[in-house]
Amino acid sequence: MENLTILTPLKQPIVFELESFEVPRDQGPILFFLALLNYMVVLLANGLVMGIIMADRALHRPMNVMICNLAACDLLGGSAALIRLMIYLATGNKKIAYGEAIIQAFSVHTYGAAVQTILAAMAYDRYLAVCEPLRYHAIMTPSRLLFSCVLAWVVALLCIGVLFALNVGTPLCGTTIKHVYCSNRSILYLACGPTPINNIYGLCMSWSLSTGTFLVIGFSYIKILHACIKNGNSMRSKAFQTCASHLVIYVIYQIATTIIILTQRFTSASPNLKKFCGILFVIIPPAVNPVIYGLVTTELRISLLKLFKTKNLTILTPLKQPIVFELESFDVPQDQGPILFFLALLNYMVVLLANGLVIGIIVADRALHRPMNIMICNLAACDLLGGTAVLIRLMIYLATGHKKIAYGEAIIQAFSVHTYGAAVQTILAAMAYDRYLAVCEPLRYHAIMTPSRLLFSCVLAWVVALLCIVVLFALHAGTPLCGTTIKHVYCSNRSILYLACGPTPINNFYGLCMSWSLTTGSFLIIAFSYIKILYACIKNGNNSSMRSKAFQTCASHLVVYVIYQVAITIIILTQRFTSASPNLKKFCGILFVIIPPAVNPVLYGLVTTELRTSLLKLFKTKVTPRTPFIWMENLTILTPLKQPIVFELEGFDVPQDQGPILFFLALLNYMVVLLANGLVMGIIVADKALHRPMNVILCNLVVCDLLGGTAVLIRLMIYFATGHKKIAYGEAIIQAFSVHTYGAAFQTIVATMAYDRYLAVCEPLRYHAIMTPSRLLFSCVLAWVVALLCIVVLFALHAGTPLCGTTIKHVYCSNRSILYLACGPTPINNIYGLCMGWSLTTGSFLVIAFSYIKILHACIKNGNNSSMRSKAFQTCASHLVVYVIHQIATTIISLTQRIPSASPNLKKFSSIVIIIITPAVNPVIYGLVTTELRTSLLKLFKTKVPLRTAFSTSERMH
């Protein structure tokens, strides 16, 4: 008794103050808008369901009447919590009178109790409908239906009535309710003394309701399952259609209540997080239930269509289970199936090995159990899901030609693909927020991104994605299908709904809204994070370490996001080109599932310094990337350089008196590159008659030559003119990136030209039907995208690589010359560079070889047709010459590096031959030799010399 504090009970009128969320003033209107949007969805969706059921007498059936009761219950719960929340977010007013507090608390508790009793009544109704179909209407009479509904409400109201009756007369000694809304528990926390009876009754009542509901639902579904096993497929189909959405609603409600309980157990969880989780069960189910349960019901959908006066519907006979679909897939000749199977298998092996390696390293090495790496692990798991969902079925088709897929497998594949697409966006959004904290709040980072918050972020990313897709597929339940041919390579929500017997406006509307919300939401989070990071970098302008950290931690994340968005954009764009072939559309449709899962682990996983270190440990490489760096051979301690780094190009060993001469020669070379290539571009752009595939591709080659020549010759001229060898880190990376892009793009563009020449010679009658403007555009874009992607990955591997030297032993900066300055070995960079270089060179060679073998075969086959041989020579000679010159130049580079007696100047000069000779020679060989270009050039200068005749004679002589 000594330690008891005497409290004075409050007297009426009592006014409580809700603690609510801690919201900055500038964020109040945004949160108010979100709450308003949520409430509008609750009102409109539930109101629409109730209105349709009441208006259409054909819907006055037991299940629909119970759905109507569930909608009324959802309206009660949503209104009770959201109206008061909106008032606070809009005005900041936290006060609430005692009477209003009791009404709000009573309404929320009644909602929670009634949801369970109504769901139990629904489960019993489903049991009767499936297990007693012949006696159903005899048992579930109107009077018994009324009794069931009234009983559900009476049980709920009696339980809550007693709960609040126990509050009467309880003296209160506080006014601050520590929650977003008023509840029985939050009000009793303000009691002047302990309330054991209230607590015991509340616990027993909650347990009884939850357990009772679970037992009724459990009993009903056990009986239904037993009946399905006992009987045939038709009963299973009926059971699935009538019970799936009911189970989904029950599970969503239980998950929401479980989240409340779990978050209260995490002491490190922020108060705002606990409060938000505390209202999940009042804001999510009321908005989702009418979509899942109400509008999914076939009868309700038909009534809704009648409401919108949908006419001209063709009467089709719905298919019955078991349904077996047939994938249209690619149109593949039999002899090409094994080749494509091998490519798909290779892609899947890369996806499995790369992502599996990332997950394995992170799981095995405890030092990697950090927020960013955990999120990378989630991204890798997501990539495995997407790649596996599509590639396995694709390989089966390519290997066996088998296109059949059962209904269950189709739904699983479609669900997995959509979950992958949604989860990629939510995980990347979570990663962006983590990067924002790491860069902008480095001192508070570990205090904010605690293990519990990291777990919550990852779980939330998956839960949001899964909930969105669960609702999407819940809308399928009960949709009758009247077709079996899926016009795609894999099954998706849209491709299955195309087979529906009638229009599916609700599914379409939800799918569109869900996709838009996910894409926009993830974009806004990523944009917000990077705007904050950019602002922090600008604000701390003198802090080069922050800029370096921001670049190292954010570059690969941005590249991953951009690659995914580019893949999605390509899908959308190709569907807009009506002239694009079905195979092209289908291939572009699977790009987002085959490219990102293979590229992401390289870009995001293996580029991370910690992951690379762990990988090196795995292969027993005894080099650590941390300071100091120790070369095990000579025990030299190396200290990594810090930004800003300035390199020094070794350049040519040039006497001072020869500098101006060499400058003049370099300037002359650059002027030839600019004028010749610029002239070719100008003529093609200006003359509409030249807007043909070969000339357009030639224009791309000209741009590529300008890029390569400019990247090297400007810096070389500066050195010859001034002797200045210094080059900043940023400029070095730009120059190296440009040079490598030139080398890669040259190969892809020349390969595209070869394919165009093959079509022009071997398929002259179908040439314009095949090489349409859209396909030409796709070919050119693909050539650049392949080149850029290869080089972006090459330089993304640089991120975080510490450098311990500044002298670049070359005339220009390149990937290899910069990596020679690394403090330790760079095996991943080396392997990727070698593989990428080999793949590009071999790939372009194979395309060119295939094209010319086909052309040669066509010429031999049509031996008497001299016009074909002449056409083949005229169109292919210059292309071959350009390709051979480029290959000779690269061979000269390789050979001179192998000759130890060759002088350093000779080696350096031979290494730039490829960039100074080919850009100057190509427009002469390829551009100005072309008859059409020559004619256009003569028109431009109005020269009356019969140059055409001279060249034509020369061509015939050859």
3-state SS of 159-205 is HHHHHHHCCCCCCECCCEECCCCCCHHHHHCCECCCCHHHHHHHHHH
- Domains of the chain: total: 3
Q: What is the DSSP string of 543-579?
A: -HHHHHHHHHHHHHHHHHHHHHHHHHHHHHHHHH-TT
User: Which pLDDT score, from 0 to 100, does residue 947 have?
Assistant: 42
Give residue 160's pLDDT.
Answer: 92
Q: Which of 357-366, 428-437, 902-911 has the highest mean pLDDT?
A: 428-437
Distance CA 255, CA 293 (A): 17
Terminal-residue alpha carbon distance, the chain: 118
Question: Which of 249, 277, 306 is at the close of a domain?
Answer: 306
Residue 631: give the domain boundaries.
622-957
Single residue among 306, 333, 349 that ends a domain in this structure: 306
Chain centre to alpha carbon of residue 925: 44
| Residue labelled with tokens 């003296």 | 171
The first and second tokens of residue 796, run together, are: 């993304």
Q: Is the pLDDT of residue 630 over 50?
A: no
Q: Do residue 547 and residue 641 come from a single domain?
A: no
pLDDT at position 569, please?
79
Q: Is residue 317 part of a domain?
A: no
Residue 818 pLDDT exceeds 60: yes
Residues whose CB falls within 8 Å of the CB of residue 550, separated by 6 or more in sequence, listed in order: 439, 533, 536, 537
In the prediction, which pLDDT does 294 show?
Answer: 57
Task: Inform me whether the pLDDT recorded for 322 exceeds 80.
Answer: no
Tell me which residue has tokens 């987002």: 592
Which residues, in sequence order, are bridge partners of residue 15? 97
Other C-beta atoms closer than 10 Å to the C-beta of 433 total 17
Indicate which CATH number applies to the domain containing 719. Answer: 1.20.1070.10
Structure confidence at residue 113 (pLDDT):
93
Count CA within 13 A, CB hemisphere, residue 218: 6
Residue 769 — pLDDT band, cuts 50, 70, 90? confident
Task: Give yes or no: residues 549 and 578 share one domain.
Answer: yes
The token pair at 489 is: 């390579």
pLDDT band at 312 (very low <50, low <70, confident <90, very high): very low
Q: Lowest mean pLDDT: which of 13-22, 517-526, 885-894?
A: 885-894
| Mean of pLDDT over the chain | 79
Mean pLDDT of 177-185: 85
Contact 85, 180 (CB under 8 A): yes
Asked whether residue 701 falls in the same domain as residue 591, the answer is no
pLDDT greater than 90 at residue 151:
yes
Residue in the block written with tokens 């009756």: 165
* Long-range CB contacts (within 8 A, 24+) of 929-932: 929/878, 930/694, 930/695, 930/698, 930/878, 931/874, 932/689, 932/690, 932/692, 932/695
pLDDT computed for residue 419 by the predictor: 93
Cβ pair 762, 742 in contact under 8 A:
no
Residues 237 and 186 in one domain: yes
**611/641 same-domain check:** no
Burial 647-668 (b: 16+ CB within 10 A, else e): bebebbeeeeeebeebbeebee
Within a domain: 734: yes
Q: Which residues contact 125 (CB under 8 A, 6 or more apart)?
A: 62, 63, 66, 140, 148
Same domain for 528 and 572: yes
Residues in the chain: 958
Q: Domain boundary at 598, 615, 632, which?
A: 615
315 lies in a domain? no
By percentage, how much of the chain surpasses pLDDT 70? 85
The answer on pLDDT for 355 being more than 70 is yes
C-beta separation of 157 from 209 below 8 A = no
Whether 634 and 720 map to the same domain: the answer is yes
> What is the layout of strands, in order, in the sheet containing 485-486?
404-406, 324-327, 485-486
Q: In the predicted model, is pLDDT for residue 733 greater than 50?
A: yes
Q: Of the given ranges (129-143, 553-567, 718-732), which has the lowest mean pLDDT?
A: 553-567
- Please report whether residue 10 resides in a domain: no
- Judged on CB neighbours under 10 Å (0-12, 13-18, 19+), 719 is buried
pTM, rounded to two decimals: 0.44
413 and 486 inside one domain? yes
850: left (phi over 0), alpha (psi -120 to 50) or beta: alpha
Query: Is the pLDDT score of 651 beyond 50?
Result: yes
Q: Is the pLDDT of residue 43 over 90?
A: no
**What is the per-residue pLDDT across 366-375, written as a single tens digit (0 to 9) for each?**
878 888 888 8
pLDDT band at 607 (very low <50, low <70, confident <90, very high): low
Question: How far is residue 832's CA from residue 837's CA, in Å, rounded to a whole number?
Answer: 8
Give the bridge partners for 630, in sequence order: 637
d(CA 605, CA 594): 17
Confidence at 631, pLDDT banded by 50, 70, 90: very low
Where residue 154 falls among pLDDT bands split at 50, 70, 90? very high
Give the pLDDT score at 866. 66
3-state secondary structure of 311: coil
The residues pairing with 325 across neighbouring beta strands, listed in sequence order, are: 405
- The pLDDT value recorded for residue 637 is 55
Burial class (CB in 10 A: 0-12, 13-18, 19+), 434: buried
Do 61 and 186 have their domain in common? yes
Phi, psi for residue 696 in degrees, rounded to 5: -65, -40
- Tokens coding 390: 């599509």
> In terms of domains, do 637 and 605 share one?
no
Give mean pLDDT, residues 778-789. Answer: 86
Owner of token pair 């571009």: 681
Q: Give yes or no for residue 302 having a pLDDT over 80.
A: no
Largest CA distance in the chain: 121
